Structure 1
Amino acid sequence: MAERILPPLRLLTVFEAVLRTGSVQKAANQLNVTQPAVSQALRSLEDFVGLKLLDRTSRPATLTEAGRILQAGVSEGLGRIAEAVAQIRALQNGIESSVTIACTVGTATYWLMPRLADFYNAHPDIAVNVMTTIGGPEILSGADLLIRYGRGEWTDGEVVKLFDEKVVPVCSPKLAAQLEGEGGLQAATLLHVRSDDRSWLTWKDYLDLNGLPENRVLGRYFTNYVQATQAALSGQGVMLGWESNTGDLVREGRLVAIGGAPLRPKEAFYLVIPERREAKPARHVLIEWIIGQTRASGEPTTSPPA
């Protein structure tokens, strides 16, 4: 491949400015240089290419054939450079104004995502990327924040308590009305979620707490909480509703809480903030907003970290 021989970029920008503004004087004003400096740059560019670029015998000066050829190349080249710089700046802005938060599928589906609409209304310039996990999220590559359920004893980041949890039986309003005349929970199909998590509360825990006998109706089993929630919404049975996941559905009237005293686990929800070398203003904005969501509902929190 032949070596490319290009004139200094400064000469090309002067040439482009003269063409864009329509005169040497206007180009000089825009470039913040003197008019003779612009004229000298044009002559240097003509010396470099070996042909006249401007026909100075006419007023105003017009492009020669060589000038028109160079004009096409310069316009396209500088335009592509400007576009590339704009894309790079947008990329940088995107990095600085995006935050990635990790949480379980259930927490993302029923607690975080419904609230993000309000966040975007208040902060349209910040993008929130949600990473979901089956179990409790660990420190993931690229995660700026994590929402975890547990006792807050983690040491891999700053820990801020968000809210306590409670668990109550919930079902569709239609099923609740039906069960009221059929003996309540003892006549209900119970929806179970299988989990290897030792902190996971089961129907046995709830029935034992309220002194109720084991339900004799055949139950239905699910491998994740989202499936069980959809089954409850469609009237297939009664599930143990965790406030973090079904609380909004109860407040909206799509599910109804039934039964006796709620289970109140020792675990709670926490925001875990991994250490980061670089300051990220968007991350702090999201931290304050998440904590504000729990304050608005009257749940206990600590002050947001600096």
Structure 2
Amino acid sequence: MLRLPPLRLLTVFETVQRAGGTKAAAAELNVSMSAVSQALRQLEEHIGAALIDRSTRPSGLTEAGEILLKAVIENTERLSEALNDIRALTDPAGASVTVACTIGFATYWLMPRLEAFYIDHPDIAVNVHTTQQEVPRLGQGTDIAMRYGDGRWDDGTVDLLFRETVEPVCSPSLAERIRSDDGNLGTAFLIHVDTSDRRWLSWPDYLARTHQKAAGSAKGLRFSNYVQATQAAISGHGVMLGWRSITGDQVEKGLLVSAGLPRLQPDNAYHAVLSHQSRNRETAAVVVDWLRAAAQPQV
């Protein structure tokens, strides 16, 4: 029988991919960068295959790494769902609400706003369950799902949060270089995010709709999620398609700026879906109302 790798090694591997690199993972796990690198090599030795493609900058995953990451994420999601279900059974009347959303939405939109929520509602605990799915499921232990789409779901009460906007963004230094080249993307790498969800605009979609050309840079850099892509853009590695839910706050902070290209508004939007099966509907409704207000533009 195949011996499974130690859980701590899998945790480090998943954290590196989600956080966007060894340095960010080390900070999140509160360990040294060398400890993270050592854990990755131990995992590769245990499996007997290279997981990290160290020949690229920034480094990416090998085919074996992609397979393992998918399995780790799927099983982590199942475990989280099981724990949420157990929590709902053991504390059905508790003042806690579980929100399901993608990693990118949680990292760049939801989590930064929860501190303000707790100031307004210190008696309500919000548990965040991240998923790779763009349309998170509403299981027994999940009260609210943050979904990107057309809003046509029948498993809960749907509230529009905000409409998405898409605009190419990059680091300030790279934007200056692009402007000095008359806005030509041919000198800048494009940062791609590989997703099977056709609702998310890809670079080919954007270039076709805006009649732009990327010349020889179109191949660019490829990542498996928007967290990695955003970190690469902030570090100045290329231009990414900035979605309001992912890069909006980074633009406000000045970490990313417009690349000077047209802005698009997709047909789909972000919604909060309150489960019909929620055991804490009244408390969950308070969370939805607060999130809807937080999503409105500040004047």
Q: TM-score, normalised by structure 2?
A: 0.65
Contact 1:96 1:282 in 2 (8 A): no
Alignment partner, residue 162 of structure 1: 161
Q: Distance in 2 between matches of 1:277 and 1:180?
A: 51
Alignment partner, residue 275 of structure 1: 276
Contact 2:143 2:280 in 1 (8 A): no
Alignment partner, residue 208 of structure 1: 208
What amino acid is aligned across from residue 135 of structure 1 in structure 2?
Q
Contact 1:232 1:239 in 2 (8 A): yes
User: Which deviations, in whole Å up to 9, do the C-alpha atoms of 1:54-102 show, x marking residues without a partner?
Assistant: xxxxxxxxxxxxxxxxxxxxxxxxxxxxxxxxxxxxx988952111000
SS in 1 for 2:198: coil
User: Which deviations, in whole Å up to 9, do the C-alpha atoms of 1:189-211 show, x marking residues without a partner?
Assistant: 10000110011201112212221
Q: Distance in 1 between matches of 2:173 and 2:258?
A: 12
For the aligned residue pairs, the C-alpha RMSD in angstroms reads 2.0
Does 1:292 pair with 2:284? no
Q: Kindly tell me: are residues 259 and 204 of structure 1, through their superposed partners in 2, closer, same or farther at Cα, counting changes over 3 Å?
A: farther
What amino acid is aligned across from residue 275 of structure 2 in structure 1?
P
Report the structure number with the largest CA radius of gyration: 1
Contact 2:92 2:279 in 1 (8 A): no
Alignment partner, residue 249 of structure 1: 250
SS in 1 for 2:109: helix
SS in 1 for 2:104: helix
Q: Kindly tell me: are residues 95 and 232 of structure 1, through their superposed partners in 2, closer, same or farther at Cα, counting changes over 3 Å?
A: farther
User: Which deviations, in whole Å up to 9, do the C-alpha atoms of 1:28-65 show, x marking residues without a partner?
Assistant: xxxxxxxxxxxxxxxxxxxxxxxxxxxxxxxxxxxxxx
Q: Kindly tell me: are residues 186 and 95 of structure 1, through their superposed partners in 2, closer, same or farther at Cα, counting changes over 3 Å?
A: farther
- Paired residues for 1:136-147 under 5 Å: 136=134, 137-147=136-146
Q: Kindly tell me: are residues 279 and 197 of structure 1, through their superposed partners in 2, closer, same or farther at Cα, counting changes over 3 Å?
A: closer
SS in 1 for 2:227: helix
SS in 1 for 2:215: coil
Alignment partner, residue 187 of structure 1: 187
User: Which deviations, in whole Å up to 9, do the C-alpha atoms of 1:15-35 show, x marking residues without a partner?
Assistant: xxxxxxxxxxxxxxxxxxxxx
The alpha carbon displacement at 1:132 in A equals 0.5
Identical-residue share of aligned pairs (%): 48
Alignment partner, residue 97 of structure 1: 95
Alignment partner, residue 237 of structure 2: 236
What amino acid is aligned across from residue 286 of structure 2 in structure 1?
V
Greater CA deviation, 230-239 or 116-125? 116-125
Alignment partner, residue 174 of structure 2: 175
Alignment partner, residue 128 of structure 1: 126
What amino acid is aligned across from residue 190 of structure 1 in structure 2?
L
Greater CA deviation, 268-277 or 191-200? 268-277
Aligned residues: 208
Alignment partner, residue 262 of structure 1: 263
Unaligned runs of 5+ in 1: 1-90, 299-306
Alignment partner, residue 84 of structure 2: none
Q: Distance in 2 between matches of 1:279 and 1:212?
A: 49
The alpha carbon displacement at 1:282 in A equals 2.4
The alpha carbon displacement at 1:277 in A equals 6.6
Contact 1:161 1:269 in 2 (8 A): yes
The alpha carbon displacement at 1:140 in A equals 2.2
Unaligned runs of 5+ in 2: 1-88
SS in 2 for 1:259: coil
User: Which deviations, in whole Å up to 9, do the C-alpha atoms of 1:127-175 show, x marking residues without a partner?
Assistant: 1000011012011231011110000111111111111011110001111
What amino acid is aligned across from residue 295 of structure 1 in structure 2?
Q
Q: TM-score, normalised by structure 1?
A: 0.64
